[in-house]
Structure 1
């Protein structure tokens, strides 16, 4: 079974299980996953807070000795941006618009870099790759590219393939001076959440494969490697949610026989 088919099967199982557990049964897992997504997304970009330190900053408001203030602010910003993503995914079914993406970026850097929050890039952006320096579109091109991108996104279905393509296309435009990677991953999770999928973390140990897959796509080599990595991460995330839902179902059965959910 391909990763895509496995994801579809597990999504159906999870949907069925969710109808059979009490409301709020997965809140503990969802809380932990939100902290993990903030930790991992920031860590990929060089944030030095550990997973445990990120939890202390977000849950207790503790300042970690020896760690830069910027890293604390990035954790707070990302957590707020993720909360906004999950809130609008659950309550608002209007198409994702350009203003939504600019607001998302505003939240991502609201405290850490407020001077660029929600503002399109005004300088050239480059990235070093294994085949040399890659130059992103010039600032003058960004408004037109974002208009085309958002027109596509607003009409696209809320599926994993759309989520992964949105990530790739957004990164290729690189519309902001900074915070593009974090915004891209949050945008991906917004599309996933709207489709009823759990949000996905790309872990620091995934970074080499993740960056390499993006570079392959940007150099015209296609998106097979990128989609494969993200489908695998979504598949693993669904396993975590399925296990939690089954445990919640077992507890709510109160000794009754639990009928297994089959794909």
Structure 2
């Protein structure tokens, strides 16, 4: 089975699920997504702790940092908010973007960022370095840059072919948030969450990007950041889509699906 065929089979399987079966699938997905999304940038996050927070809203015998615990609990809160927003047909705008970020980063900003006036749920005030180079738009340019992207996203969602192009729209929003880097922290988590908002809104299954695939993920984001090429990220998301749901959708030859 080709990757194209596997993706189409996953999407068809998802759309054929009744509401109860889809809710069960999303419950299992939430833990996997939150663990992997957090683990990509914080190696202290564990699947056990994430599962306990989602299952019991707390952890036992926890020895990690307070920030890590906040990140896990925030991911649960943000995911529940996202599902409610999808059900209520909420449209994506700046207020929605800022609220997603606020929920994901509440209580996690370090003293240095806090002293500089940075706050969860607000655009960055300063410029930051990620890796070896400056990343993102200048702080003064962020509101306009994000505003232009959100206009493009709303136009794409209103187009007659939106459902067919769901992965491309989700990848574009994801890549633009990563490129603009509008926040002092939490840009990746916000991009991954809102990418899934687009997919769920367009009746597509959400995607968990496996933390073990982070180098390929970063490479796909860099292709857009440096060359404006979105295709590597779209192709990468297709692989992760099948990796997330392939087994459950009956895609033979693909592993890694939710149990």
Poorly superposed stretches of 4+, deviation over 3 Å: 1-6, 25-29
1:215 aligns with 2:222: yes
1:76/1:4 Cα in 2 relative to 1: closer, same or farther (>3 Å)? Answer: same
1:126/1:194 Cα in 2 relative to 1: closer, same or farther (>3 Å)? Answer: same
Q: Which aligned pairs between 1:68-147 and structure 2 lie closer than 5 A?
A: 68-92=65-89, 94-113=90-109, 116-128=119-131, 132-147=132-147
Q: Root-mean-square deviation (CA), in Å?
A: 2.1
Larger Rg: 1
1:197 aligns with 2:204: yes
- Alignment partner of 2:177 out of 155, 164, 170: 170
Moved more, 181-190 or 44-53: 44-53
| Shift, 1:74, TM fit | 0.3
1:248 alignment partner in structure 2: none
2-structure distance, mates of 1:73, 1:36: 17
2-structure distance, mates of 1:191, 1:240: 23
Alignment: residue pair count? 235
1:34 alignment partner in structure 2: 30
1:151 alignment partner in structure 2: 151
Q: Aligned to 2:227, what secondary structure does the other structure show?
A: coil
2-structure distance, mates of 1:162, 1:178: 23
1:238/1:204 Cα in 2 relative to 1: closer, same or farther (>3 Å)? Answer: closer
1-structure distance, mates of 2:196, 2:179: 18
Asked if structure 2 preserves the Cα contact closer than 8 Å seen for 1:44 and 1:204, the reply is yes
1-structure distance, mates of 2:106, 2:247: 31
Moved more, 219-228 or 189-198: 219-228
1:99/1:223 Cα in 2 relative to 1: closer, same or farther (>3 Å)? Answer: same
1:66 aligns with 2:63: yes
1:147/1:2 Cα in 2 relative to 1: closer, same or farther (>3 Å)? Answer: farther
Q: Deviations for 1:202-256, whole angstroms, at most 9, x for unmatched residues?
A: 111011111122122211162332221111111233324425xxxxxxxxxxxxx
| Shift, 1:137, TM fit | 1.0
| TM-score when normalising by structure 1 | 0.82
1:177/1:9 Cα in 2 relative to 1: closer, same or farther (>3 Å)? Answer: same
Moved more, 34-43 or 62-71: 62-71
Q: Which runs of 5+ in 1 are unaligned?
A: 244-263
| TM-score when normalising by structure 2 | 0.83
Moved more, 170-179 or 150-159: 150-159
Asked if structure 2 preserves the Cα contact closer than 8 Å seen for 1:198 and 1:237, the reply is no
2-structure distance, mates of 1:81, 1:182: 10
1:7 alignment partner in structure 2: 7
Asked if structure 2 preserves the Cα contact closer than 8 Å seen for 1:127 and 1:135, the reply is yes
Q: Which runs of 5+ in 2 are unaligned?
A: 157-161, 251-259
